[in-house]
């Protein structure tokens, strides 16, 4: 079946520009996560959506980062006024229930390069 789809797969942008990254989760999955992966830094949690609950934004590194999830499905991560340190792979994952033992299904990520 269809997995988690992310677009674009690669994005090059100039410093100071805004970017939008899109995630299509697996149909029926109630939980959606965004992670950032920088070289040697592992998986950095950014934000978590669970059903209709208020999102857990505790991992967003600054107010330049925001995300929304429309209709409990597609999610968009927006980075405003991009900086070079924002360069990383942004991974989206979804899970069926969002409970601790519910496996995360990751997309292949969007590689963001800020020049």
Partner 1 sequence: QQQVKQSPQSLIVQKGGISIINCAYENTAFDYFPWYQQFPGKGPALLIAIRPDVSEKKEGRFTISFNKSAKQFSLHIMDSQPGDSATYFCAASWANSKLTFGKGITLSVRP
Q: Which residue in 34, 10, 43 sits closest to 112, CA to CA?
A: 10
CB of residue 57 vs partner 1: minimum separation in angstroms?
12
CB of residue 110 vs partner 1: minimum separation in angstroms?
11
- Applying CB under 8 A, the span of 60-68, 70-78, 80-88, 98-106 interacting with partner 1 comes to 98-106
- Alpha helices, DSSP H only, in the chain? none
Contacting partner 1 within 23-62 (CB under 8 A): 33, 40-43, 45, 48, 56
CB of residue 84 vs partner 1: minimum separation in angstroms?
22
Give 5: exposed, middle or buried? Use CB within 10 Å, 0-12, 13-18, 19+: middle
CB of residue 18 vs partner 1: minimum separation in angstroms?
24
Q: What is the DSSP letter of 55?
A: P
Structure tokens at 109: 């990520």
Structure tokens at 34: 């965004």
Q: Does 66 bind partner 1 (CB under 8 A)?
A: no
Rounded to 5 degrees, φ, ψ at 14 are -85, 145
- Applying CB under 8 A, the span of 13-21, 62-70, 73-81, 91-99 interacting with partner 1 comes to 91-99
- Report the SS3 class of residue 70: helix
Residues lying near partner 1 in the complex (CB under 8 A): 4, 33, 40-43, 45, 48, 56, 91, 93, 98-101, 103-109
């Amino acid at each position: 079946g269809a997995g988690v789809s992310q677009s674009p797969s690669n994005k090059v942008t100039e410093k100071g520009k805004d970017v939008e990254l899109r995630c299509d989760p697996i149909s029926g999955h109630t939980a959606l996560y965004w992670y950032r992966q920088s070289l040697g830094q592992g998986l950095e949690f950014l934000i978590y959506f669970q059903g209709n609950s208020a999102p857990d934004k505790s991992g967003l590194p600054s107010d330049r980062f925001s995300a929304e999830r429309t209709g409990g499905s597609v999610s968009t991560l927006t980075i405003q006024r991009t900086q070079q340190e924002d360069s990383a792979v942004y991974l989206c994952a979804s899970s069926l229930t969002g409970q601790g033992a519910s496996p995360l299904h990751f997309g292949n990520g969007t590689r963001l390069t800020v020049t």
